[in-house]
Amino acid sequence: MRKTAVEFIREFDDFLLIAHVSPDGDTLGSCLALYCALLKLGKRAQIACADPVPKTYRFLPHADRIAAPEDTAPFSCAIAVDCADLLRTGRCAPLLSGAQHTLNIDHHGTNPNFGESNYVEIAAATGELVYHIIRELGLNPDEEMAACLYAALATDTGNFSYRNTTPDTFRIMAELLESGLDLPALNQRLFRTTSLPRLRINALAIDRLELYCNNRLGFCTLSLADLASLGATREDCESVIDIIRDIDTVEVAAFLREGMDGAVRVSMRGKTSADVSRVAQRFGGGGHRLAAGCTIRTTLEEARALLLPELEALLEGEGNAWKES
């Protein structure tokens, strides 16, 4: 499938790269690294995302060129990057469907291969797939590409601490370091810098934490009013799910956040064996076995009532969560 992606890029000359909604380091870093590579090859390229780039990632090379879908001109070719399904493209979906040719680059096991061409392969991050594409296009990652790929790999592997980290991940990192990557500076920006609202949100989340199934299920909900009361934004909620998961007794963590559109954004994590992607798929979402999410278009309380029994069943090893959809 990698060969298909490389041939796709070689064949055409203008590309729209699409990052997923609520963009993280992997979708942004992968898009930006591929964007740099396309420009080096003399191609025309643009990046679109339905949501603004979070402050954490605005320092990445060319992040200021990422446009909202409404501000993006049509392109003949569209590439969805790190989008587990079509819903993850958000308001960029019409740009994808309106393109003459489409390519889907993603590392999620639940991806249904929604592109005309697909490079879907389980890896630590989509950044790994983009790295291999760049190398097979005959390019060596320069300092800008390396910074973007580092953001992709480091954020999706929990700074190289999650189970998805492989020897190949470290081999890629070794080459990125050889390109002149400033590892201490990037690590500081991505993992050692926080805001006061984020700290306050974390404190509130700890206060709101609910534990079930003999303390093996950690559950937390936050409303728009909660965020407003602390002067926080959705970006400030990014570390809540990790705080819940890191509790020693917790095997499954769930964080529900009310969105501006009234829908509920759900993040789920499994620590060792619970396949949270099965629960996410039941609600139209997806992801990885130990990291998945979905959007439930109902109230926060109703979403809680729907999700809680599914996660309890998942931990008990019986019930709807273990049945095939």
Q: What is the pLDDT along the chain (325 residues), one digit of tens a residue?
A: 899 999 999 999 999 999 999 999 999 999 999 999 999 999 999 999 999 999 999 999 999 999 999 999 889 999 999 999 999 999 999 999 999 999 999 999 999 999 999 999 999 999 999 999 999 999 999 999 999 999 999 999 999 999 999 999 999 999 999 999 999 999 999 999 999 999 999 999 999 999 999 999 999 999 999 999 999 999 999 999 999 999 999 999 999 999 988 999 999 999 998 999 999 999 999 999 999 999 999 999 999 999 999 999 999 884 444 444 3
- Residue whose tokens read 């469907």: 97
Query: Please, which residues bridge with residue 286 across strands?
Result: 293
DSSP H or E segment with residue 264 = strand 264-270
Q: 269 — alpha (psi -120 to 50), left (phi > 0) or beta?
A: beta
* Beta carbons of 256 and 297 less than 8 angstroms apart: no
* Beta carbons of 130 and 30 less than 8 angstroms apart: yes
> Encoding tokens for residue 59?
């320092």
* Phi, then psi, of 17 in degrees rounded to 5: -95, 130
pLDDT, residue 73, reads 86
pTM exceeds 0.85, yes or no: yes
Ranges of beta strands (E only) in 7-60 are 14-19, 44-48
pLDDT, residue 321, reads 43
Q: In this structure, what DSSP letter does residue 30 have?
A: H
Residues 306 and 283: their CA atoms lie apart, in Å, by 9
* Beta carbons of 116 and 100 less than 8 angstroms apart: no
Give the distance from CA 194 to its chain's centroid.
19
* Beta carbons of 62 and 143 less than 8 angstroms apart: no
Residues 303 and 300: their CA atoms lie apart, in Å, by 5
